[in-house]
Amino acid sequence: MRIYSLLFFSRLALAATEIKRSTRADLVFHRDATRSQLVEHKYIVMLKSSADSLEISTKYDATSVYNTTLNGYDESAGEGTCIYVLDTGIFVNDLEFEGRVTFVKELSSDGVSDDTVGHGTSVAAWAASKTYGTSKKAKLLAVKVVGGNGEIGDSSTGWIFIGQDYISRQEECPAGILVNMSVGTQPPMQSMNDAARALIEAGLFVGVAAGNFNEDASNRSPGAEPLVCTVGASDSFNNRADFSNFGELMDIYAPGKYVGTIDRFGAPISSSGTSLASPYVVGLAANLMALEGNPGPIAMCQRLQELGVEEILGNMPNGTINILANNMAATN
C-alpha cells in the first residue's frame, strides 16, 4: 500500500483509513531520463481538515535560529530566480506575493487552477512571500498536483512536466531555477525518485520535505533519492522537531514547528511540518544563487550545509547530519 501525504499538519490531517486504488488508469507508465520504462500502480489518499489553532506563532523570536533573523534577507533576496512549487497550487492574487506568482500547470484530479486546499499557498509563502519568505523577490511557479478534495494522484507527472517547462523559462529566471516539493509518498516510488534526479542532472536545485513520521527519511519519496536536498524540521528550542524524519539521507534542518505563514485566503496562520522547512531552505538557496551565482544543485546543497550551524540541534539520532540552516541575516 502506498501512502501520499502533504507534509504539514496545521490545516490538514492524513485520513489514513481512506486510502483507495484509482479506478481508472490503474497502471501508469513513466519514462525516466535514461529512457527506461517503469510501470507502477497509481494510488490516491484523502485528506481532511484538522482543528488546529490558526493563531500567529510567537515561538520563534528574532534571534531564535542561532542569532539570525528568521525572516531576514539580503537585499538581493533571490531576484532573478524562479521556484517551482509542486503542491496544491498557489493563491496567485494574494498581496503577500506581490504579483510574483504564475500558475503554470494544473495536473490534479479536480481541474481547478487555484489552491482550494491551502497547503501550497502556505508552502510558497514560507519560501517567497513579502512577510514570511526567505527569498522575497523570487518568482513562484505553481504546478498543482493535489486536488481541492485532498486527492493526490501520480505527482511524478509534475516532475516530468517541469523537466519540459523549465527550458522555456531560463530567460525570465537568469539567476537560477529551483523546485520545492512538500508532498511525499510512502513507501518510496522509483519513478518519482528518477524524475527528481533527472531535474537535478539538468541543473535544477530540488528541495524536498523529509516527512513527519519520526522515522528514516529513506522510507519516502522523493527524499529517498540521494541527490535531492532533503530537509527536516527544527523547533524554536533548537531541537529536531519531534515529528521530523531523520537518517543518513538527511541534508539539513530548518525551522518547521509553529512557524508563521498564510492560508489560502491570505490570512496569517501558524503551521508545523517539514513542508515548511523545505521551502525555507529552497528560499535560502534562491538567495545564494542571486548573491553568489549558481554553482549547480549538489554544490548548492553543500553550500547551505557549509553556511549552516553544526551540532546545535538536540533530539538528533545517531547517523543523522546535525546542521541547522542559517539565513545569514545576523542581528548582532
Tens digits of pLDDT across the chain (332 residues): 454 556 554 433 332 222 222 222 222 222 233 333 333 444 433 322 222 322 223 333 323 343 344 555 566 799 999 999 999 999 999 999 999 999 999 988 788 899 989 999 999 999 999 999 999 999 999 999 888 766 665 556 787 789 889 988 999 999 999 999 998 888 888 988 999 999 999 999 999 999 999 999 999 999 999 999 999 999 999 999 999 999 999 999 999 999 999 999 999 999 999 999 999 999 999 999 999 999 999 999 999 999 999 999 999 999 999 999 998 764 33
Burial letters 270-295, b for 16+ CB under 10 A, else e: bbbbbbbbbbbbbbbbbbbbbeeebe
Identify the helix (H) or strand (E) that includes residue 105: strand 101-106
Which residue of the set 57, 234, 275, 278 is catalytic? 275
Helix-, strand-, coil-residue percentages of the chain, each rounded to 5: 25, 25, 50
Alpha helices of the chain — where are they, by DSSP H? Answer: 119-128, 156-165, 190-201, 274-292, 297-307
Using CB atoms within 10 A of its CB, is residue 1 exposed (0-12), middle (13-18) or buried (19+)? Answer: exposed
Q: In the numeric block, which cell numbers belong to residue 169?
A: 523559462
Which residue of the set 87, 94, 114, 194 is catalytic? 87
Amino acid making up residue 217: A
C-alpha span between 332 and 330 (Å, rounded): 6
Contact yes or no for 9/275 (Cβ under 8 A): no
Give SS3 for 100. Answer: coil
C-alpha span between 208 and 171 (Å, rounded): 25
Which residue of the set 57, 115, 119, 221 is catalytic? 119
Active-site residue flag, 110: no
Active-site residue flag, 242: no
Paired strand residues for 13? 48
pLDDT at 323 (0 to 100): 98
Count of residues for the chain?
332
Active-site residue flag, 57: no
C-alpha span between 69 and 184 (Å, rounded): 29
Query: What is the CATH T-level fold of the domain 3-324, as seen in this structure?
Result: Rossmann fold (3.40.50)
pLDDT at 9 (0 to 100): 47
Q: Whole-model pTM?
A: 0.83
